């Protein structure tokens, strides 16, 4: 049996979860289709998801197409929960991107498609809701081609859009116009096909074209487009056939070395950790001992495999399957199981740009609140729990205000802790503006640690993160030879990343290269702790010499408003610092696109209903970080402040 890990992705309210229900029904997994509005769907299992009618956590279900077991992962569509989508991307074989036939391509749709293309994930496009009033065919196709990718081909004709009798008819070999468009699209990526088609198009059979379409779709070069309705079921069988024919499924090597990736972690009824893992190779059985993460090992105590519906208890999990594992107490999202496929969890989307202080309504709940938030951070590491011991405050990172409401509800429902929040603030970043270097030598005055370390920090290209390099002679740097020196190397790497969480102005430092220029230790005597405590002093001294620039997050907005509200809306945008860059007329509406500070998005959302009589439609998505003009904002430090040598040494060694 071949397997296919399939992600369903969409902008919120495009009908993604409803499509999941319809796919399960068509495959015979469920006898009755659930409703998002009624809270009866298979994948929205959290009480909060059922109450709000939105997907908050990714969920896995399974069904069969021919000889293919499809592990379908339903992901959130709301931008506040984009982190859930991010974690799923690393385990996908293919994806279905859902677009509403009424709203068309939206902000989140563009973000998702750009990421799918960057990762070369084979993707089909399903245009949903063709039975809804306002549904369009040609306009949506044109919008997909213009805003997402021109490498698309509609797989059929949609008729009677906007009515309950809307229908979708797949094209066949008899549709000459379709065959010509298909050949032209495929020839763009295949020189042999181009030569055959230009020479004599009759020599290219329809079977050859379908075979080449499957090949190029699996290579993520082209993207077939299907139309239909998840509510009525129109077009869904064509989509299912397309999933089986056009997306890559494989048997996997069940006899190979064990290798998998954890993309989700949750807690069971007894508080035990449950890890969702996609197996890429090998077979893992209950009671097997397995290595995972950086340097952990544990025994698998139970396995549930997703098979023809929800998870069922199993004695093993084999290559290609998705399962839930019990027994690995220190497991984290992004960890590798067995042989490591990646060194760290990849970040495909922008990090959260907002943060807030969580305040317990009852002071006695402060300790319990920290434990509860730590558990939520296991499920969503980008919450980025940050404790300020000096001010006795707990910070969490956010993508938006809806996420704040969800955290509040989860704390109340799952942990019985009532909380409020301080005003949301913007998270800035720092980027080095020059090169700085520093060194501390073992045995020299002022260095109380049994370690020598030299570091250089310099700017790197934007959006490259932090890279650690080695520039020392063999024999002088801790090499992966003995366990002790392995620990020294690991201590430097981990501490560099941790120290850069707070730069000269208190913001995370990114887009830089840190090079180890000198290193030394004494044996016996030196420990990993010496390197952990020395690294912040050296690194921050180098950073201070380099200097940093604070940058703030900028969102790109798309705002559709009634034409007669234009005069009131534009001055309001100016007051919020928003900069409209393009203006287009669409019927009786104006469409404005431009930039706005992330810090002002919520204000715009609050003012928009009054400005536009409730008819304005706003979409915002992170665009970039831009240098702050004027005085740089600062964030209070929560570490031992290695920028102040005296203060730092008093904290870590109790002497200067």
pLDDT digits (tens, 9 = 90+) for 542-553: 999 999 999 999
Average pLDDT score over residue span 371-376? 91
The fold adopted by the segment(s) 259-338 is Elongation Factor Tu (Ef-tu); domain 3 (2.40.30)
Question: Can you give the residue ranges of every domain in the chain?
Answer: 2-246, 259-338, 354-427, 551-627
Residue 35 or 209, more confident: 209
DSSP notation for 44-82: --SHHHHHHTS--S-EEEEEEETTEEEEEEE---SGGGH
The yes-or-no verdict on residue 386 having pLDDT over 80 is yes
Average pLDDT score over residue span 281-306? 91
**pLDDT score for 368:** 94
Which tokens belong to 548? 């940093």
pLDDT in tens, 523-534: 788 888 999 999
The yes-or-no verdict on residue 37 having pLDDT over 60 is no
**Hey, is 459 helix, strand or coil?**
strand
Residue 137, by phi and psi: left (phi above 0), alpha (psi -120 to 50) or beta?
alpha
**pLDDT score for 59:** 82
The yes-or-no verdict on residue 44 having pLDDT over 70 is no
Average pLDDT score over residue span 408-417? 91
Average pLDDT score over residue span 250-268? 89
The yes-or-no verdict on residue 40 having pLDDT over 60 is no
As separate numbers, helices (DSSP H) first and strands (DSSP E) second, the chain gives: 16, 34
Q: Which helix (H) or strand (E) holds 178?
A: helix 176-187
**pLDDT score for 346:** 59
Q: What are phi and psi of 204, to 5 degrees?
A: -100, 110
Name the pLDDT band for 482 (thresholds 50, 70, 90): very low
What's the whole-number average pLDDT of the chain?
87
Name the pLDDT band for 348 (thresholds 50, 70, 90): low
Residue of 342, 288, 339 whose CA lies nearest to 316: 288
- The CATH superfamily assigned to 354-427 is Elongation Factor G (Translational Gtpase), domain 3 (3.30.70.870)
Average pLDDT score over residue span 12-36? 83
Question: Could you tell me whether strands 259-267 and 59-65 are parallel, antiparallel, or unpaired per DSSP bridges?
Answer: unpaired
- List residues bridging with 165 in a β-sheet: none
Select, from the ranges 350-359, 383-392, 448-457, the one with the highest average predicted confidence (pLDDT): 448-457
pLDDT in tens, 421-434: 998 889 999 999 99
The yes-or-no verdict on residue 203 having pLDDT over 80 is no
Average pLDDT score over residue span 98-111? 88
Q: Which segments of 127-175 does DSSP mark as H helices, in order?
A: 138-147
**pLDDT score for 202:** 56
Question: Cα–Cα distance between 457 and 536 in angstroms, integer?
Answer: 13
Q: How far is CA 121 from CA 125, 210, 551, 610, in A?
A: 12, 20, 32, 42
**pLDDT score for 34:** 63
Average pLDDT score over residue span 186-196? 82
Identical fold at 2-246 and 551-627? no
The yes-or-no verdict on residue 474 having pLDDT over 50 is no
The yes-or-no verdict on residue 449 having pLDDT over 50 is yes
**pLDDT score for 479:** 46
* Domain 551-627 top-level CATH class: alpha beta
Question: Cα–Cα distance between 130 and 276 in angstroms, integer?
Answer: 35
Residue 220 or 520, more confident: 220
pLDDT in tens, 220-247: 999 999 999 999 999 999 999 999 999 9
Spell out the residues 6+ positions from residue 263 whose beta carbon is closer than 8 angstroms to its own.
58, 87, 88, 90, 91, 276, 277, 278, 333, 334
Buried-exposed string 224-237: b where 16+ CB fall within 10 A, e elsewhere = bbbbbbbbbebbbe
Q: What are phi and psi of 177, to 5 degrees?
A: -65, -40
Residue of 628, 219, 229, 185 whose CA lies nearest to 433: 628
Question: Cα–Cα distance between 565 and 372 in angstroms, integer?
Answer: 46
Residue of 537, 538, 544, 490 whose CA lies nearest to 651: 537
**pLDDT score for 39:** 52
**pLDDT score for 226:** 98
Q: Point out the least confidently predicted range of 161-170, 222-231, 429-438, 619-628.
A: 619-628
The yes-or-no verdict on residue 360 having pLDDT over 50 is yes
If you search the block for the tokens 């709000």, which residue do you land on? 52
Average pLDDT score over residue span 81-101? 88
Q: How far is CA 638 from CA 146, 432, 498, 627, in A?
A: 46, 21, 12, 24
2-246 carries CATH number 3.40.50.300: yes
The yes-or-no verdict on residue 153 having pLDDT over 90 is yes
The yes-or-no verdict on residue 172 having pLDDT over 90 is yes
Neighbours of 598 (CB within 10 A): 22
**pLDDT score for 294:** 74
- List residues bridging with 572 in a β-sheet: none
Q: What is the pTM of this model?
A: 0.76
Question: Cα–Cα distance between 375 and 363 in angstroms, integer?
Answer: 20
**pLDDT score for 83:** 74
Is 354 within 8 Å of 298 (Cβ atoms)? no
Q: How far is CA 76 from CA 41, 449, 489, in A?
A: 14, 48, 39
């Amino acid at each position: 049996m071949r397997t296919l890990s399939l992600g369903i992705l969409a902008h919120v309210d495009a009908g993604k979860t409803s499509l999941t229900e319809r796919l399960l029904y068509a495959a015979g997994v469920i006898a009755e289709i659930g409703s998002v509005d009624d809270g009866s769907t298979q994948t929205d299992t959290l009480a909060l998801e059922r109450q709000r009618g939105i997907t908050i956590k990714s969920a896995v279900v399974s069904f069969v197409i021919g000889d293919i077991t499809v592990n379908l992962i339903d992901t959130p569509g709301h931008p506040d929960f984009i982190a859930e989508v991010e974690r799923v991307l690393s385990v996908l074989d293919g994806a279905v991107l859902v677009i509403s036939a009424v709203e068309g391509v939206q902000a989140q749709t563009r973000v998702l498609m750009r990421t799918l293309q960057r990762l070369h994930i084979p993707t089909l496009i399903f245009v949903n809701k063709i039975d809804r009033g306002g549904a369009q065919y040609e306009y949506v196709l044109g919008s997909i081609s213009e805003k997402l990718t021109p490498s698309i081909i509609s797989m059929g004709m949609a008729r009677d859009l906007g009515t309950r009798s809307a229908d979708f008819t797949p094209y066949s070999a008899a549709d000459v116009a379709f065959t010509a468009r298909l050949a032209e699209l495929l020839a763009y990526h295949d020189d042999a096909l181009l030569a055959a088609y230009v020479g004599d198009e009759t020599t290219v059979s329809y079977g050859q074209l379908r075979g080449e379409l499957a090949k190029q779709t699996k290579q993520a070069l082209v993207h077939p487009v299907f139309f239909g309705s998840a509510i009525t079921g129109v077009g869904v069988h064509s989509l299912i056939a397309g999933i089986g024919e056009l997306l890559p499924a494989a048997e996997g090597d069940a006899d190979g070395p064990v290798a998998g990736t954890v993309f989700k972690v949750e807690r069971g009824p007894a508080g035990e950790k449950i890890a969702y893992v996609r197996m890429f190779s090998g077979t893992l059985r209950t009671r097997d001992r397995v290595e995972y993460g950086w340097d952990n090992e544990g025994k698998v105590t139970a396995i549930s495999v997703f098979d023809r519906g929800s998870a069922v208890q199993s004695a093993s999990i084999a290559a290609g399957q998705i399962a839930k594992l019990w027994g690995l107490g220190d497991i984290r999202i992004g960890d590798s199981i067995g042989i490591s496929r990646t060194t760290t969890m990849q970040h495909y989307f922008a990090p959260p740009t907002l943060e807030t202080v969580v305040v317990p309504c009852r002071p006695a709940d402060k300790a319990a609140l920290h434990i509860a938030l730590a558990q939520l951070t296991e499920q969503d590491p980008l919450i980025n729990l940050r404790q300020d011991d000096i001010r006795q405050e707990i910070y969490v990172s956010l993508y938006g205000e809806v996420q704040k409401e969800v955290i509040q509800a989860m704390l109340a429902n799952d942990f019985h802790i009532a909380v409020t929040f301080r005003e949301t603030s913007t998270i800035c970043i720092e980027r080095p503006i020059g090169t700085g270097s520093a060194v501390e030598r073992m045995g020299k005055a002022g260095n109380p640690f049994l370690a020598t370390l030299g570091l250089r920090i310099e700017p790197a290209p934007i959006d490259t993160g932090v890279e650690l390099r080695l520039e020392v002679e063999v024999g002088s740097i801790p090499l992966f030879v003995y366990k002790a020196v392995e620990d020294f190397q690991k201590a430097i790497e981990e501490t560099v990343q941790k120290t850069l969480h707070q730069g000269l102005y208190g913001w995370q430092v990114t887009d830089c290269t840190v090079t180890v220029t000198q290193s030394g230790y004494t044996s016996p005597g030196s420990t990993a702790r010496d390197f952990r405590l020395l690294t912040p002093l050296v690194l921050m001294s180098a950073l201070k010499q380099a200097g940093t620039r604070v940058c703030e997050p900028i969102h790109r907005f798309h705002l559709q408003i009634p034409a007669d509200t234009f005069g009131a809306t534009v001055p309001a945008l100016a007051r919020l610092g928003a900069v409209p860059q393009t203006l287009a007329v669409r019927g009786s509406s104006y469409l404005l696109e431009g930039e706005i500070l992330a810090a002002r998005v919520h204000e715009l959302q609050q003012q928009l209903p009054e400005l536009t009589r409730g008819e304005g439609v706003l979409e915002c998505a992170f665009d970039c970080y831009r240098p702050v003009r004027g005085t740089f904002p600062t964030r209070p430090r929560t570490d031992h402040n290695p920028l102040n040598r005296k203060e730092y040494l008093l904290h870590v060694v109790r002497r200067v």
